[in-house]
């Protein structure tokens, strides 16, 4: 089921910064990783979905219903994008205010939900601690707790692993997987670390310079360049012939392919080609060596 449709969203900050003509669909059960270098447009996208930023153009639809900037449909979203807290208030007061604004009025229900969510994020026994006393990592956990409390169908997370130790990262990943499986939710989260994204998502979107350049699964094979004495006897059904002395093969069944080539010609050099996903994440530079 399509929960969220994004149609040609654009936010132009000038000087090639922002997000341009971005479209995607988010379905129940999706865990989508947004990846790109800092400034690629990941946070801008999440801010437009969450209603923090008004797009210059484009439209958003929740279950085929158009969303305006003040749409009540966003009450279905659990959001941790630049999470804000009342620093002079304690943990319980911050979380209870979220539930109260979400129209939860029963104090016993509020108490139980807060206890449960703090246990999930590893912030037990800090209900009375003021946020101004929190470390950065604790604030990250609290931001995730806020998102959990609000999530009814979609969760939006901006770099949720930043500031977390290995146990914290594991906690976030396992809980997201559990929520998606048990409640058939959908999650979009951003990161710039490919390994973190691959360990959680079932779909990857790469953004570079404000534009979507890849949207698909993670199963992209690296390739290997093989220099040979001659390609004349090689079959193009088994290898990709680039020129008279060079062929390209994928990593899949690599040893068998090398054995096939070696039977027909002499191999002079083997060179790995960078994984296409890694290549997409390289920072490009223009003639003046300015990052773009």
How many percent of the chain have pLDDT more than 90? 49
CA distance 277 to 225: 17
- Give pLDDT, residue 210: 93
Name the residue with higher pLDDT: 53 or 104.
Answer: 53
290 pLDDT more than 50: no
**Average pLDDT, integer, range 8-21:** 90
Sole residue written with tokens 């990783």: 33
- What is the side-by-side strand order in the sheet with 240-243? 240-243, 246-250, 223-228, 267-273
Which residue in 137, 186, 141, 237 sits closest to 3, CA to CA? 186
Write out the E strands in 183-236.
186-191, 203-208, 211-216, 223-228
Q: What fold, for 2-216? A: Rossmann fold (3.40.50)
Read off the pLDDT of residues 102-146 as tens digits, 9 standing for 90 and up. 666 678 888 888 988 998 898 988 889 999 999 998 999 999 999
CA distance 36 to 243: 34
In the chain, residues under CATH classification 3.40.50.300 are 2-216
Read off the pLDDT of residues 156-176 as tens digits, 9 standing for 90 and up. 999 998 888 888 888 889 999
CA distance 255 to 191: 34
Using 50, 70 and 90 to split pLDDT, how confident is the model at 237?
confident
Read off the pLDDT of residues 170-207 as tens digits, 9 standing for 90 and up. 888 999 999 999 999 999 999 888 778 888 999 999 99
Rounded to two decimals, the pTM is 0.77
């Amino acid at each position: 089921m399509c929960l969220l449709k994004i149609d040609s969203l654009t936010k132009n900050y000038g000087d090639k910064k922002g997000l341009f003509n971005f479209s995607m669909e988010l379905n129940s059960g999706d865990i989508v990783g947004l990846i790109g270098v800092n400034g690629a447009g990941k946070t801008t996208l999440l801010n437009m979905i969450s209603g923090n930023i008004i797009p210059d153009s484009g439209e958003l639809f929740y279950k085929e219903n158009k969303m305006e900037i003040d749409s009540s449909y966003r009450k279905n979203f659990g959001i941790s994008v630049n999470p804000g807290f009342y620093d002079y208030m304690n943990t319980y007061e911050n979380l209870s205010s979220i539930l109260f604004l979400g129209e939860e009025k029963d104090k016993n229900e509020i108490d139980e939900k807060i206890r449960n969510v703090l246990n999930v994020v590893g912030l037990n026994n800090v209900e009375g601690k003021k946020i101004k006393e929190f470390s950065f990592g604790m604030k990250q956990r609290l931001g995730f707790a806020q998102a959990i409390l609000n999530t009814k169908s979609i969760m939006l997370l901006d770099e949720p692993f930043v500031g977390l130790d290995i146990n914290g990262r594991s906690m976030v990943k396992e809980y997201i997987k559990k929520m998606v499986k048990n409640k058939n939710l959908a999650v979009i989260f951003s990161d710039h670390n490919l390994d973190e994204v691959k360990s959680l998502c079932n779909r990857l979107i790469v953004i570079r310079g404000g534009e979507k350049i890849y949207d698909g699964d993670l199963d992209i094979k690296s390739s290997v360049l093989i220099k040979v004495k001659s390609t004349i006897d090689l079959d193009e059904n088994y290898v990709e012939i680039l020129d008279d002395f060079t062929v390209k093969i994928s990593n899949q069944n690599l040893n068998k392919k090398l054995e096939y080539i070696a039977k027909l010609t002499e191999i002079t050099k083997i060179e790995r080609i960078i994984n296409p996903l890694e290549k997409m994440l390289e920072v490009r530079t223009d003639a003046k060596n300015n990052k773009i």
